[in-house]
Amino acid sequence: MIADPIVEFSLFCFRYESRKEATLEDISLTIKSGEKILIAGPSGSGKTTIGNCLNGLIPHSFKGVGSGRLNVAGFEPASTDLYELSKTVGTVLQDTDGQFVGLSVGEDIAFALENDARPRNVMLTAVSRAASLVEMSDYLNRSPFALSGGQKQRVSLAGILIDDVDLLLFDEPLANLDPATGELAIELIDQLHRETGKTIVIIEHRLEDVLHRPVDRIILIDRGKVIADKSPDSMLADGTLAAHGIREPLYLSALRLAGGSLKVEDHPASLDSLNLDRHRDNLISWFDSRPVAVERPHQPKLLTVDGILYSYDGEFTTLDKVGFSIESGERISLLGENGAGKSTLAKIIMGLIKPDEGNLSWLGNNITRENISERSRKIGFVMQNPNHMISQHLIRDEVAFGPRLRGVCEADVTERVESALRTCGLYPFRNWPISALSYGQKKRVTIAAILIMEPQLLIMDEPTAGQDYFHYTEFMEFISKLNRESGLTILLVTHDLHLALEYTERSLVLSRGNLIADDPVPKVFADSELLIRASLKPTSLYGLARKLNIEAVDEFIAHFINSEEAVRSG
């Protein structure tokens, strides 16, 4: 089938008005009608800018200087009305809350038709058709506050399908979803692609999760340039992705750790298609050579959480008698789907909310009655969104904020600030205004601002949200170093399984307010039934071990973690 190109960039350059350097340089690429494309690249690579060029937000909402040629479905976005373009290109934004403008599902789906001043009876039929495409027919009267992130995303999608657009653009569709919901989203996109034949462009850096369903091509963007544009098989075989800050699928990492090299003929694009013939012996002998596991010596119990019960409204329990303990120097992940009660538990540990029942103790002393400021001397809390933490104008002042509040003398403050900034790799920027930093750099500022208070336990809420592999590896590495060198205890609150696998030894799994597991990471990750129960799908390492007929899946995962860690820390 020879299809017409729907998108053509040729030697396209773009520079935002507020920036000195070009964000896109000499982009040349073609997308054919009906193709399904993944645009991958690290944060700040320009991949979102490409998306904004397609939907016309550039140059209509974001001003800047462009050159070269761009053609989208026969239009030149720069000289086309944004509204006309929106009938051809439908965009599902990353922020599912921001995109949901209506006060009910039906109303939000109808939004584009309302703006077209279509009569109400036309809207009613169109809405019910679009809602059934995304399986949200039973929710038409629901308010956005009663929907999960995944459901809001479906509504956004329906709101775009209602216009019968030719091209669907997804901007980081997995960013706010837990693993199981993300998998469903990818399946839905694939189903739409097969059923409607529309062109699909997915912008995402979580490569393995997108490849859960096949794509036609991957376009790799870095520093504003097209680095590679080829089939998933050949992209994954040659290993260019890792060099550009994209995490390759875990099963391929395992293959490489075992000393194998990949070819296109191995069909590495998905675990199902992967031909293991050339690699089986390699992997088995790698697995058999694993060292005997050494158990970590026990340390004093730093924090003990006992029988915590909490309810927001006095009617429904958010946490139901949760209990566990954390030893000094441990690295723990608190896992669970969105809404499982993870953040609530973290807030109770911090003292931000008081539990209805239960006790907390710190090194054997009951701290249930201690207030936030007493607890904040022991426990540091890094929130998910750095913009919620930053309250000062200059980086230096932001980091100095905590010690100053505690009345540390100015000479000491300066010294501590400089050392904290050095640890976090921010020293060169110390006199910069925070507004000049990227999201990832802001996150590092907030980490520095907490580390300066010298907590013994560091809690991080969804540290990888809005971060790509390259950038989160950077700050997680120095946090791990603090753990190794000064015994900092770490609790990561997350639904990112890669993160838990890479940086923690033990996992606590919450599901609907109950603690359903408290075990070493390899054991949790080898228990597919447990993971599914907590809306956290098993990783591809599990699938790979199964494909190799390995019984001791947990040992396979443990060996993978240890080998990878050895590679990472050099």
Partner 1 sequence: MNSLRISSTRKKPYGVDKSKLTFGLSYIETGSPLHRLSGFTKLVLFLWWITLILTTFDLRVLTGFFIVGIVLLSMAQIPFKVYRPFVFFMVYIVTLNSLFIYLFAPLQGPEFIGSHTELFVLTKRYVVTLETLVYLAVIAVKFLAIFPMSLLFVFSTHPTEFAASLNKIKVPYQIAYAVSLTLRYLPEITKDFINILHAQQARGVDISRNVSLRKRIRNIASILFPLILSSLEKADVITNAMTLRGFGKGHSRTWYNARPMATGDWFVLAAMAVWTVPHFIIRASIDGLFWYPF
Out of 176, 304, 318, 507, name the contact with partner 1 by CB under 8 A: 318
Measured from the CB of residue 528, what is the shortest distance to partner 1 in angstroms?
A: 25
For β-strands 331-335 and 506-511, DSSP reports them as: parallel
Number of other CB atoms surrounding residue 239 within 10 Å: 14
Q: Which is nearer to partner 1, 220 or 390 (CB)?
A: 390
Residue type, 442: K
Q: Which is nearer to partner 1, 32 or 129 (CB)?
A: 129
For β-strands 365-366 and 357-362, DSSP reports them as: antiparallel
Q: Which is nearer to partner 1, 26 or 163 (CB)?
A: 163
Alpha-carbon gap, residue 504 to 561, rounded angstroms: 10
Nearest to 328 by CA among 190, 456, 518: 456
Asked if residues 108 and 160 have their Cβ atoms less than 8 Å apart, the reply is no
Range 421-460, binding partner 1 (CB under 8 A): 449-450, 453
Q: Which is nearer to partner 1, 130 or 258 (CB)?
A: 130
Cα torsion 492, 465, 187, 47: sign: negative
Out of 23, 48, 49, 55, name the contact with partner 1 by CB under 8 A: 55
**Residue 512 interacts with partner 1 (CB under 8 A)?**
yes
Measured from the CB of residue 123, what is the shortest distance to partner 1 in angstroms?
A: 5
Out of 390, 493, 517, 524, name the contact with partner 1 by CB under 8 A: 390
User: Which residues pair with residue 491 across a beta bridge?
Assistant: 332, 459
Measured from the CB of residue 145, what is the shortest distance to partner 1 in angstroms?
A: 4
Residue with tokens 């990832």: 440
Q: Please list, residue by residue across 202-227, b when 16 or more beta carbons sit within 10 angstroms of its beta carbon and e when fewer do.
A: bbbbbbbbbbbbebebbbbbbbbebb
Q: Which is nearer to partner 1, 101 or 566 (CB)?
A: 101
From residue 319 to residue 348, the character string flagging contacts with partner 1 as x (rule: CB under 8 A) and all else as - is -x------------------x-------x-
Structure letter (DSSP) for residue 263: -
Range 367-386, binding partner 1 (CB under 8 A): 372-373, 376, 380-381, 383, 385
Residue with tokens 């040659």: 238
Q: Which is nearer to partner 1, 312 or 566 (CB)?
A: 312
Q: Which is nearer to partner 1, 86 or 483 (CB)?
A: 86
Out of 17, 195, 288, 315, name the contact with partner 1 by CB under 8 A: 315
Could you tell me where the DSSP H helices lie in 77-216? 82-85, 96-99, 105-115, 120-133, 149-161, 179-196, 207-210
Range 70-129, binding partner 1 (CB under 8 A): 81-83, 86, 91, 93, 95, 97-104, 106-107, 110-120, 123-124, 127
The half-sphere exposure of 158 on its side-chain side, counting CA atoms within 13 A, is 31
Measured from the CB of residue 180, what is the shortest distance to partner 1 in angstroms?
A: 16
Measured from the CB of residue 98, what is the shortest distance to partner 1 in angstroms?
A: 4
**Residue 557 interacts with partner 1 (CB under 8 A)?**
no
Structure token pair of residue 436: 């000049």
For β-strands 217-222 and 36-40, DSSP reports them as: parallel
HEC letters along 221-252: EECCEEEEEECHHHHHHHCHHHHCCCCCCHHH
Out of 231, 317, 361, 419, name the contact with partner 1 by CB under 8 A: 317
Measured from the CB of residue 47, what is the shortest distance to partner 1 in angstroms?
A: 17
Measured from the CB of residue 117, what is the shortest distance to partner 1 in angstroms?
A: 5
For β-strands 5-16 and 89-92, DSSP reports them as: unpaired
Could you tell me where the DSSP H helices lie in 468-539? 469-486, 497-503, 521-525, 528-533
Measured from the CB of residue 347, what is the shortest distance to partner 1 in angstroms?
A: 7
Residues 6+ apart with CB under 8 A from 18: none
**Residue 61 interacts with partner 1 (CB under 8 A)?**
yes
Residue type, 529: E
From residue 198 to residue 237, the character string flagging contacts with partner 1 as x (rule: CB under 8 A) and all else as - is ----------------------------------------
Range 271-300, binding partner 1 (CB under 8 A): none
Alpha-carbon gap, residue 19 to 362, rounded angstroms: 49
Range 172-191, binding partner 1 (CB under 8 A): none
Measured from the CB of residue 315, what is the shortest distance to partner 1 in angstroms?
A: 6
Measured from the CB of residue 110, what is the shortest distance to partner 1 in angstroms?
A: 4
Asked if residues 461 and 382 have their Cβ atoms less than 8 Å apart, the reply is yes
From residue 398 to residue 417, the character string flagging contacts with partner 1 as x (rule: CB under 8 A) and all else as - is ---xx--xx-----------
Region of 223 (left: φ > 0; alpha: ψ -120 to 50; beta: rest) is left
Out of 46, 51, 144, 329, name the contact with partner 1 by CB under 8 A: 144
**What 3-state class would DSSP assign to 177?**
coil
Measured from the CB of residue 520, what is the shortest distance to partner 1 in angstroms?
A: 28
Residues 6+ apart with CB under 8 A from 409: none
> How many residues lie near partner 1 (CB under 8 A)?
81
Measured from the CB of residue 90, what is the shortest distance to partner 1 in angstroms?
A: 8
Measured from the CB of residue 107, what is the shortest distance to partner 1 in angstroms?
A: 5
Measured from the CB of residue 346, what is the shortest distance to partner 1 in angstroms?
A: 10
Out of 67, 69, 273, 312, name the contact with partner 1 by CB under 8 A: 312
Alpha-carbon gap, residue 560 to 568, rounded angstroms: 12
Asked if residues 203 and 89 have their Cβ atoms less than 8 Å apart, the reply is no
Q: Which is nearer to partner 1, 124 or 284 (CB)?
A: 124
Q: Which is nearer to partner 1, 81 or 410 (CB)?
A: 81
Pick the piece of the chain touching partner 1 (CB under 8 A) from 56-64, 65-73, 410-418, 478-486.
56-64
Q: Which is nearer to partner 1, 10 or 143 (CB)?
A: 143
